[in-house]
Amino acid sequence: MTNDPDFRRVETMVKEFLTERFDVPEDKMTSDASIRDLGLDSIMMLDVMLEIEDRLGIKLRDLSMPANPKLGDIVELIQRNLGTKA
């Protein structure tokens, strides 16, 4: 799954935004890093989701993910929503 070009594109976009907005060091951002490990809370993740909606021109409708999501979970959530553009 992580070799999927769409996964990589979305992952890169999320990482760039996390660096720009929250100064998350790039070397800490692995698919297995939890949002807590990256120093993010649920309000910050809402900001990420809103930005992704704007950048991709989609409406995130399926927001189901684990209680303490990992970066890879966030990317997968966005990918699930790519087919449901508003």
Establish if 67 belongs to a structural domain: yes
Check which CATH number belongs to the domain holding 45 and give it: 1.10.1200.10
Establish if 75 belongs to a structural domain: yes
Establish if 86 belongs to a structural domain: no
- Residue 1: its pLDDT value, please? 47
Tell me what the pLDDT averaged over the chain comes to: 85
Establish if 60 belongs to a structural domain: yes
Q: Please tell me the distance from the alpha carbon of residue 68 to that of residue 81, in angstroms, as a whole number.
A: 20
Establish if 21 belongs to a structural domain: yes
- How do residues 43-62 score in pLDDT, each as one tens digit? 888 888 888 889 888 888 88
Number of domains in the chain: 1
pLDDT of 86 over the 50 cut: no
Which range of residues forms the domain containing residue 29? 5-81
pTM: 0.79
Q: How confident is the model at residue 15 (pLDDT cuts 50, 70, 90)?
A: very high
pLDDT of 82 over the 60 cut: yes
Coil, strand, or helix at residue 34? strand
